[in-house]
Amino acid sequence: MQVKVVIGTVAFMLTMMILGFAALREPARMEAFSRAAVGRSIETGAEIFANNCATCHGVNGEAKECYDTAGNQIGCKGLPLNSKGLVCGDRPARLEAMNWVGSKEAFIKQTVAAGRVGTAMPTWSERFGGPMRDDQIDNVVAFVLNWESEELCSQPDITFDWPESVDDFLAEFPEGDAANGEALYLSYGCIGCHGDVTQEGSNAVGPWLGEIAEVGATREEGKSAAQYVYESILDPNAFIAPDCPTGPCTSPSAMPGNFAERMAANPQDMADLLTFLLGSGE
């Protein structure tokens, strides 16, 4: 009798200890579990990105290196996503620029799900007529957000005060390199919208720029072609060109508005692009 009570008591206490220990470990177990789930989500997102997004946003999301399905390098039509201005901190610069009041997660998710009307950014969510389920959207968004890293986010903010007049700009950057300008026309993705400057009609979204050295001078009263092209790149909405390939160009402009920011790191890029588009004789 006594022995049974002792055994019963010990068994009871052991059970309680094991249960209690398991309960104590539960939060840690849950955390490890959700970390693993996030890791899997990012991994799946990476695959979705490579198959659906890299053609426009680049293999590393930097909008620098884009390839078509045959493996040929093409101009990137999309914006950099692996960028400080989009993924770093709670209020990345891009949210301010776009007047977005919600979180960056919501900004990215909304853009991916619904696309951007009037731009090359397609709609991805089934909810808006796209091809992806909610979980696929969540995974690719997790992958994009995962670019936030100490290395990326500790980069200094680079700004450049673009002079209003192209002549003042060119006084600072007089040596435009046409060959490099041609490479930049590809790597900044101009070619994806404006086409090959040597082939009229090769433009998909924006006007063909093969004759912009002459046409540019006629766009706005009193503006030289150089001034006009310079302003078109820095502030696409300042003036909307008349003719796009599928009809009149629409406002707001389908041309990305952040080249001023992107070229701030290297204003010489602007000089090279101007020389490529306008020739060195301007």
Residues near ligand HEC (CB under 6 A) are 52-53, 55-57, 77-79, 81, 86, 94, 108, 111-112, 116, 119-122, 124, 140, 144, 188-190, 192-194, 205-207, 209, 212, 215, 219, 229, 232-233, 236, 240-241, 244, 249, 253-256, 259, 273
- Count Cβ atoms below 10 Å from residue 140 Cβ, excluding itself: 26
**Given the complex with ligand HEC, which of 25 and 173 has the nearer CB atom?**
173
| Percent of the chain that is helix, strand, coil (3-state, to 5) | 55, 5, 40
CA distance 202 to 210: 10
CA distance 106 to 108: 6
- Count Cβ atoms below 10 Å from residue 229 Cβ, excluding itself: 25
**Given the complex with ligand HEC, which of 100 and 163 has the nearer CB atom?**
100
Compute the least distance from the CB of residue 239 to ligand HEC, in Å. 6
Compute the least distance from the CB of residue 209 to ligand HEC, in Å. 6
Do 109 and 141 meet the contact criterion of CB atoms below 8 Å apart? yes
**Given the complex with ligand HEC, which of 168 and 214 has the nearer CB atom?**
214
Compute the least distance from the CB of residue 192 to ligand HEC, in Å. 6
Where are any strands of DSSP class E within the chain?
66-67, 73-74, 243-244, 247-248
Compute the least distance from the CB of residue 195 to ligand HEC, in Å. 10
Compute the least distance from the CB of residue 233 to ligand HEC, in Å. 5
**Given the complex with ligand HEC, which of 166 and 215 has the nearer CB atom?**
215
**Given the complex with ligand HEC, which of 19 and 238 has the nearer CB atom?**
238
Identity at 162, one-letter amino acid code: W
In this structure, what DSSP letter does residue 251 have?
S
Identity at 86, one-letter amino acid code: L
